[in-house]
Chain A
Amino acid sequence: MKQWVQKYQPKKLNEIIGQQKAVAEVYNFWRNFKQSPKKAILVHGPPGCGKTSLIYALANQENLEIVQINASNFRNKDRVESILKPATQQASIFGYRKIILIDEIDGMSGQKDRGGVKAVIEIIKKTRFPIFITANDPWMDKLRTLRNYCQMAGLGKLDSSIVFKQLNSICEMEDIEAEELALKKLAVSVGGDLRAAINDLQSMASSGKITNAELNLWSRERDETILNVLKIIFKSFDPKIALSVSNDIKEDINTLNLWLEQNIISEYDMKSLVSATDAISKSDIFLSRIHRWQHWRFLIYARAMSVVGVQQAKKEANRHAMSYKKPGLIIKMWQRAAKRKKAKGIADQLEGKLHCSTRVLQKDFMPYLNFIEEKNPEMYKKITTSLGI
C-alpha cells in the first residue's frame, strides 16, 4: 500500500494551497538563478507544511532532475563533499536541468556533523545548479553563516480549513466514508501539519470508516509526538506509517524502547507482549552493536525491530484510548545504576587492602558494608576511615 502522503503529493506548483508567497519566491529563484547573486534558497517552515513537496512539485512541473541529500544521511564534511561535488560540477547525465536539494539541514547535529554546514557553504560558492535547502528553524545559531549565502523563503503554518479541504478531497478519492466533524477535528488537532494529518487519516482509514469516536482514539497531541508514535505502533498495522512517524520524533530509539516497554502491558495481551518484548530486546542489541562496531546502519534494524517488531506482535489492537506513562521507573533504575557504579568504585579502592579481587569484594563484602551503612552510619564511617576511603 502506497503512503498517501506520497500518493497525494502535489505534482504542479498550482496544486499547492495556502503557500502562494513561498511558491512564488521559490519559482522566481529558480527562474532567475543565472542572474541571482545567491546560489541557494533556504526554504523554511514548521513540519508538514510542504517544504519538500514544494520543491518536488517544482521539479516535476519543470522536468528537473533532483539530487537529494538528506542532512541526516551525511555525517561529516568528507561525505558532504563526495556527494555534492560531482553534482555541482558535472552536467546532468540526462542532459536536462538539475537542482540540488539538501533536506532538513537543521537535522545536522552540532558535534557529529561538525564541518557539515561549512561544507555546504563551500558547495554553494562553487555550484552551477540551484541549491534548495529546507529547515524547520532557519534562525538557529549554527545556520547563521549559511543564511548570508541564501535567499529565504518562508512557508507558514497551514490553516486548519486548508488541511480539512485536503483531507476531504482525499477521502473522496479513496472512497472513504467520513464524518465531517471528525475530519474537522483531525484538521485542527494536527496544528498545521498536513503530513501528520494525512498519516493519521490513512491509519484511521485502515479500520474502515472515519467517525468522531474513532478520532478520539487517534487525536494527536502535537507537543508529545512520542505519545502519538506509541499509539500508532500499538494500535495500527501499517509498518510504513509507523516507521515514517517514528522518524519524526526527537527521541532516539533507546528512549522509544523505554516508552514501549513501560506501556506495552496496558496495550497488549500476554502472547503479544512476549513477542513484542523480544523485538525490543533485539532492537537493544542492535543499538549496542552500533557503538561497538561504529556501524550506523544497524540503526535501521534497531528501528525496524522496535517499531515494526512491536507493531506486528499483536493480533488485534486494543480499541480503548490509553494515556501512556513516562518510563519513570526505569529512569530511577538508571540513577540507581549510577549509585552502584559508585559502589564499584569503593570496591576498586579496596583492591589490595582486603587481599581479594574486586569481584569477590562485590559479591561477598559490599552487600554487608551496604547493610552497615544503612543500619549504623556511625560504624560505617569508622570502617571506611580505617580502610582509607
Chain B
Amino acid sequence: MTLEIWTEKYRPKTLSEVRSQEAVVSRLKAFVTSKNMPHLLFSGPAGVGKTASAIALARDLFGETWHNSVLELNASDERGIDIVRNKIKDFARSKAIQDVPFKLIYLDEADALTKDAQHALRRTMEDYAQSTRFVLSCNYSSKIISPIQSRCAVFRFKHLPREIIIKMLSEISEKEDLQFTAGALNLIYEASEGDARKAENLLQACSAITNNIDVTVVEQVVSFAEPKEIATVIEAAISGKFLDAKEKLFDIMIKHGLSGMDIIAQIQKQIWNLENIDEKARLELIKACGDYEFRLVEGANEYIQLEAMLAHFTKIDGKSSRKLLPDIHLLHRKKDDE
C-alpha cells in the first residue's frame, strides 16, 4: 500500500483542468490545436500553475507518452550553463517521432541563471529552434534578459484567488475522505500565501494527524513547518537578553533541523514583521543581518556566526526616542492644512 503526494496526485492532467489562469490557458489550447507554438516564457509567483500548465500542455500535445518528448530541467539545480547545454544538445539530437513537429524543453526557475548564462542559453535556443520549443519559467520576467524575452511569447500567471485555493482544498478533502471546517481551509490559504503547492502539502500534513481538520490541527502543522518563534528570538536579543535569545534560537534550529542559512532567511523575514520597533533600529537589524549572512557564507562554522549576530543585535536599541518625531511632524502638518 502506498500513498501518493497530493501535489502530484491532483496535478491537472489537461489544460482544461488548470485552475484560474483562463487567459493563459485559452492561448495555450490554441497552440495544441494548431500543433505549433513559439518559445514560451511563463512568469508568476510560486505555486500558481506554471509547471502544471507546462505539463498539461505537453500532455495535450503529445498524449500519454509525453515524457519522451519533453525534457524537464531546473536551472537552480543544474551546475552551470554548460551542463544545461549538454543536456539540451543530447535531447535535441533525436527527431520528434510524433505528429507534432517539435520537442519541448521546460526550463524551470530560469531566473536563477546569471546574465551570461542566459546569453549562452539564448544561443542554444537559436541553435535548436528547428526541432525544439522552449518553455522557460520564472518568478519575475524582469530577471530574464530582453533578447530572450523578445524570442518568447510571455505569459503572466496571476495570483490564485482565495476562493480558488479553498475550492481546490475542499475538492481534495472530499476525495480523501477528510472532514474540515471553513476556518481551517481559510487558515491554510493564509499560511500558504496563495501558493497551491504549499497549500496541498499543508493539507496532506494535516491528514497525518486526523481526518477531522480544524484550525488547531492546521496551526500545529504551520508552527512546525514555519517557526514563528523566530520573532521572539530577535525581540529577546534587542532587549539585551542574549542568553535567552541564543537558547531559543538553537532550540528552534534543533527542533526544525534548520541550517544557518535557513535561520538567517527567516530572521530577515521576521525583522520586517516586528511590531513596536523604531524604524531606524529595524534598518540596523537588516544591515546586521546582511553583514552576518555574508559572514555565514564566508565562514566555516555557522553557529559561531549566528551567535555573533545575536550579540550584535543586543547593541541595537529597539525603542529609541526617534519614534516620536514623525507623529509630531504629522501634527504640525495638520495644523498647516487647516
Instruction: Tell me the complex Cα distance, A258–B303, Å.
Output: 9
The reply to whether B3 and A359 form a contact with Cβ atoms under 8 Å apart is no
Interface residue tally on B, bucketed by range: 35 or more
The reply to whether B304 and A258 form a contact with Cβ atoms under 8 Å apart is yes
Instruction: Tell me the complex Cα distance, A359–B254, Å.
Output: 20
Q: Does A281 contact B (CB under 8 A)?
A: yes
The reply to whether B204 and A284 form a contact with Cβ atoms under 8 Å apart is no
Q: What 0/1 readout, one digit per residue, does chain A (260-281) give for beta carbons within 8 Å of chain B?
A: 0100010000100110111011
Q: What 0/1 readout, one digit per residue, does chain B (110-123) give for beta carbons within 8 Å of chain A?
A: 00100000000000
Q: Does A93 contact B (CB under 8 A)?
A: no
Instruction: Tell me the complex Cα distance, A376–B315, Å.
Output: 44
Q: Does A319 contact B (CB under 8 A)?
A: no
The reply to whether B303 and A330 form a contact with Cβ atoms under 8 Å apart is yes
Instruction: Tell me the complex Cα distance, A17–B18, Å.
Output: 91
Instruction: Tell me the complex Cα distance, A270–B245, Å.
Output: 13
Q: Give, as a whole number of angstroms, the nearest-CB distance from A382 to chain B.
A: 4
Q: What 0/1 readout, one digit per residue, does chain A (364-389) give for beta carbons within 8 Å of chain B?
A: 11011111101110011011011100
Q: Does B159 contact A (CB under 8 A)?
A: no
Residues of A within 8 A of B198 (CB): 364
Q: Does A340 contact B (CB under 8 A)?
A: yes
Residues of A within 8 A of B109 (CB): 357, 359
Cβ 8 A contact of A270, one of B202, B259, B299, B314: B314
The reply to whether B304 and A261 form a contact with Cβ atoms under 8 Å apart is yes
Q: Does A336 contact B (CB under 8 A)?
A: yes
Interface residues of B in 121-152 (CB under 8 A from A): none
Residues of B within 8 A of A276 (CB): 311
Q: Does A91 contact B (CB under 8 A)?
A: no
The reply to whether A333 and B204 form a contact with Cβ atoms under 8 Å apart is no
Cβ 8 A contact of A356, one of B51, B259, B314: B51
Q: Does A291 contact B (CB under 8 A)?
A: yes
A359 in contact with B295 given A274-B315, A336-B257, A340-B257 (CB within 8 Å):
no
Closest to A387 in B: B5
The reply to whether A368 and B201 form a contact with Cβ atoms under 8 Å apart is yes
A333 in contact with B305 given A351-B74, A368-B204, A379-B208 (CB within 8 Å):
no
The reply to whether B72 and A371 form a contact with Cβ atoms under 8 Å apart is no
A357 in contact with B304 given A368-B201, A368-B202 (CB within 8 Å):
no
A281 in contact with B74 given A333-B253, A367-B256 (CB within 8 Å):
no
Q: Does A343 contact B (CB under 8 A)?
A: yes
Q: Does A317 contact B (CB under 8 A)?
A: no
Cβ 8 A contact of A357, one of B76, B207, B259, B308: B76
Instruction: Tell me the complex Cα distance, A360–B205, Å.
Output: 17
Closest to A336 in B: B254
Residues of A within 8 A of B60 (CB): none
The reply to whether A383 and B5 form a contact with Cβ atoms under 8 Å apart is yes
Instruction: Tell me the complex Cα distance, A364–B109, Å.
Output: 15
Cβ 8 A contact of A359, one of B8, B47, B55, B76: B76
Interface residues of B in 1-59 (CB under 8 A from A): 1-5, 7-8, 11, 46-47, 51, 55
The reply to whether B300 and A291 form a contact with Cβ atoms under 8 Å apart is yes
Closest to A342 in B: B257
Instruction: Tell me the complex Cα distance, A358–B195, Å.
Output: 17
Q: What 0/1 readout, one digit per residue, does chain B (288-322) give for beta carbons within 8 Å of chain A?
A: 00001001001111011101100110110000000
Q: Does B77 contact A (CB under 8 A)?
A: yes
Q: Give, as a whole number of angstroms, the nearest-CB distance from B54 to chain A.
A: 9
Q: Does A354 contact B (CB under 8 A)?
A: yes
Instruction: Tell me the complex Cα distance, A251–B124, Å.
Output: 53
A382 in contact with B77 given A284-B301, A356-B197 (CB within 8 Å):
no
Instruction: Tell me the complex Cα distance, A276–B315, Å.
Output: 13
Residues of A within 8 A of B2 (CB): 382-383, 385-386
A371 in contact with B224 given A285-B295, A340-B259, A343-B257 (CB within 8 Å):
yes
Q: Does A355 contact B (CB under 8 A)?
A: yes
Q: Does B209 contact A (CB under 8 A)?
A: yes
Q: Give, as a whole number of angstroms, the nearest-CB distance from B88 to chain A.
A: 16
Q: Does B243 contact A (CB under 8 A)?
A: yes
The reply to whether B197 and A280 form a contact with Cβ atoms under 8 Å apart is no
A281 in contact with B3 given A274-B315, A376-B208 (CB within 8 Å):
no
Q: Give, as a whole number of angstroms, the nearest-CB distance from B143 to chain A.
A: 15
The reply to whether A382 and B1 form a contact with Cβ atoms under 8 Å apart is yes
Q: Give, as a whole number of angstroms, the nearest-CB distance from A74 to chain B.
A: 25
Most buried by B among A258, A330, A371, A376: A371
Residues of A within 8 A of B221 (CB): 368, 371
The reply to whether A355 and B51 form a contact with Cβ atoms under 8 Å apart is yes
The reply to whether A367 and B226 form a contact with Cβ atoms under 8 Å apart is yes
Residues of A within 8 A of B209 (CB): 375-376
Residues of A within 8 A of B5 (CB): 354, 383, 386-387
Instruction: Tell me the complex Cα distance, A280–B112, Å.
Output: 33
Instruction: Tell me the complex Cα distance, A209–B175, Å.
Output: 83
A356 in contact with B299 given A281-B304, A333-B254 (CB within 8 Å):
no
Residues of B within 8 A of A370 (CB): 224, 256-257
Instruction: Tell me the complex Cα distance, A337–B207, Å.
Output: 28
Interface residues of B in 255-272 (CB under 8 A from A): 256-259
Instruction: Tell me the complex Cα distance, A358–B299, Å.
Output: 24
Instruction: Tell me the complex Cα distance, A385–B3, Å.
Output: 8
Q: Give, as a whole number of angstroms, the nearest-CB distance from B131 to chain A.
A: 22
What are 11 sample pairs from A and B whose C-beta atoms fall under 8 A apart? Answer: A278-B311, A284-B295, A287-B300, A287-B301, A357-B112, A358-B77, A364-B47, A370-B224, A371-B205, A371-B224, A387-B5
